Amino acid sequence: MADDDRPRTEASDRTRRQQLTPPSLERQPLTARNRAARLRADYSRFYRDEAAHLAGFLIMAFGASAEDAWDATQTAFTSAWVKWATLSDSRKARKAWLRTTASRAYWRLSPDRAHLSNDELPDHPDTSLVPEEVMALADGTAHARVMLDALPQTQRLHLTWHLDGYTNAEIATQTGKNEAAVRKNISRALTTLNLKFKAVSHDQ
């Protein structure tokens, strides 16, 4: 084949491939429909990855039952979907927003929860709707939650944020406290838990 014919042949091949490629496989412009589909897919992936972890956060931070934690998780994700297009693309920032929103939802679902002990809380009617993963998480952390019950609520909340990988500054922003107070609460929580662990080990 002559060299002069090669570019023409390659151009013809490209044209033929384009004609045989289904429109669905071509790179489509970012239309409103495509943008909405991408948002739904992004939200669905994030929900699958994070919903159980969010419920676990509520269980550890507040001693929530699996059922109440799951209710608050669903409420938070519903709110997230409404704002999904405007939320930060940062995964950590999205998780922080959801934790704050779910925490508020948890208390709002039962306004007098603060006046009840865990033993006095009513049974949730929709136990069967809670994913097995969340139920297993609640069962598996029962001992840890007994230890956390010894902490004041603010110390417990800040420690749970800390264990989730957030900095003192980030925790302060999300919980409305100053950074020095967050640092002190985490330090006191860890000291209390350390003393309790030592006491348990000594008893054994």
Task: CATH number of the domain at 154, please.
Answer: 1.10.10
**Domain boundary pick from 138, 161, 181:** 138
Task: Tell me how far the alpha carbon of residue 14 is from its chain's centroid.
Answer: 46
Whether 169 and 82 share a structural domain: no
Quote the CA–CA distance of 5 and 123 in Å, as a whole number: 80
Look-up of token digits 């994913």? 131
**Nearest-10 crossing angle of helices 32-62, 91-109:** 60
Whether 42 and 80 share a structural domain: yes
Q: What is the pTM of this model?
A: 0.73
% of the chain at pLDDT higher than 70: 73
**43, 89 contact by CB (below 8 A):** no
Whether 134 and 173 share a structural domain: no
* Host domain of residue 116: 35-138
Q: Note the pLDDT tens digit of each residue in 36-47.
A: 889 999 999 999
Q: Note the pLDDT tens digit of each residue in 163-183.
A: 999 999 999 999 999 999 999
**174, 166 contact by CB (below 8 A):** yes
Q: Using DSSP, state whether 9 is helix, strand or coil.
A: helix
